[in-house]
Amino acid sequence: MAVSPDGKYVFLIGARKIRVIAEGQHPEWTTSFEMNVINVDLESRRTVRINDLCDFGEYFVQLYAIDSKTLVILDYNFSQLTLRQRLIKVYTNSTYSPFHRCYRYITSQTSYIKTAIGCHYCAVLSRARFEGDFVALMLPKSPADFSSTIPLPMDIGASITEMNDGLSLSLSLSVTHYISPFFMRNDQDLCFLAINNSTLDIDPKTIACLNISKKIWYTRGVSRNASSTFPQDEYEQTPLVVDCSVSGCGFRQLALVARYRTPLYNWRWRVCDAILWIQMRLIRLFFFCLDYRAEFIGKIILSITSAVSWWRDYLVLRPFTRVGVLNLESLLWTDVSNYLNDIRFTDQITQFASDTGQIVSFVCRTWSDDDCELSIRMLKSPFVIPSLYSLANFQLRKSTNLSVLEFRRKYVRHLSSIEDIN
């Protein structure tokens, strides 16, 4: 998912279609995508196709927006050891990719590849192998930008590896490629949320920063939210690296989207131990029924086992989402979980609008095999003063009066038509 800098458009990449145009020792293929373009102001959606991208890699790395009509797709081709940065122009009913830039990038096939998107630059990060050296490149944010003041692409993998080793020796902390880094100080520093080496959860008090031009690293302290202690929960836990994601946009703020686990000393684990004991006996009984071809009884036992497993997960897992925003100037966390506290962590994708600081979450909830809910939730950043128009627009959206909502749509449609003329 990508959000336009003004927060008016959301771009969602859909199904991938691959067409082989040459086989043999050197195969060639083209890749096409369907993309939904959602106009948040007009509450409308249209579908366009991105056709015939050549040599598209196995790994779709990132989609981000330069403006409301220009996108960039990053993909990694493992067989060619190539990272491609593709420029995509979006029109009313079609798209066009005028060119792309290629970069040599060697990493493990099974490695996570994460990106940091700043105001002017993009950083791509992974590791060569499990617990190996970091592989990182600094790229221009737009592949059409050739005016950078620093030589690009820039290899900063060795500097990040040195920073990680220093953190581990001095503070028993580390940085990871499982969650995205982020830029600070107008893209001068590439920063990471620090990870506790022994517990693999987020350190609530420290971020690690690498100055890109001087290749020196340092740490900075961050402050927890006074009212809700975010990024810690009510048990003073921070999320594990596999239970959180980071969204940054170069707009002096960072969003941490996370879920939390039940602590080991909680009473729920004692109940779950008893449920697990029952579940294992039911599984044995299920296979016993299969051996004696008692399929009807086996299906009943399997249904009961699934229900018992669901109750165990319900007691132990805490799947609902918490969201916090870090001000990258004051380094203060603010908890904004109230607008996503009914959404499961795996059912949402959250991004920033880089110009306005607006937080946009795409939510997909499945109720049954034939019933699902797709929605977009928006929240103004607590660190940004919105315009009067934005405040009025937000308040009108909350109205339950149909005539008021229709008036808002007509007015926004009128403003959009004026912008198109200009």
Nearest to 159 by CA among 195, 202, 122, 192: 192
Indicate if 114 and 101 belong to the same structural domain.
no
- pLDDT value at 341 more than 90: no
Q: Which of 188, 205, 221 is the last residue of a domain?
A: 221
Same-domain status, 115 and 79 = no
| Among 48, 83, 105, residue at a domain's last position | 105
Residue 114 sits in the same domain as residue 201? yes
Assess whether 89 and 69 both reside in one domain. Answer: yes
Tell me what the mean pLDDT of segment 77-94 comes to.
91
Tell me: do 47 and 124 sit in the same domain.
no
- Whether residue 232 lies inside any domain: the answer is no
pLDDT at site 16: 86
- Between CA 138 and CA 152 the distance in angstroms is 7
Q: Are residues 177 and 91 part of one domain? A: no
Domain assignment of residue 335, yes or no: no
Domain final residue pick, 105, 121, 152: 105
> Does position 285 have pLDDT exceeding 70, yes or no?
yes
Q: Mean pLDDT for the chain?
A: 86
- Nearest-angstrom CA–CA distance, 146 and 152: 9
pLDDT per residue as tens digits for the range 301-324: 889 988 888 888 878 877 788 888
| Bridge pairing between strands 182-184 and 2-3 | unpaired
277-286, 353-362, 380-389, 399-408: segment of lowest average pLDDT: 380-389
pLDDT of residue 382: 75
- Predicted confidence band of residue 84 (pLDDT cuts 50, 70, 90): very high
261 pLDDT more than 80: yes
Tell me: do 82 and 99 sit in the same domain.
yes
How do residues 193-248 score in pLDDT, each as one tens digit?
999 988 889 998 999 999 999 999 999 999 887 787 888 888 888 888 888 888 87
- The band of 121, judged by pLDDT with boundaries at 50, 70 and 90, is very high
- Look up the pTM and report it: 0.85
* pLDDT value at residue 125: 94
| CA separation for the pair 411, 393 (Å, rounded) | 10
What percent of the chain is modeled with pLDDT above 70? 98
Q: What is the pLDDT of residue 216?
A: 94
Residue 127 and residue 31 share a domain: no
Region 409-414 average pLDDT:
82
Total of domains in the chain = 3
Q: Let me know whether 92 and 114 are in one domain.
A: no
User: Is pLDDT above 70 for 12?
Assistant: yes
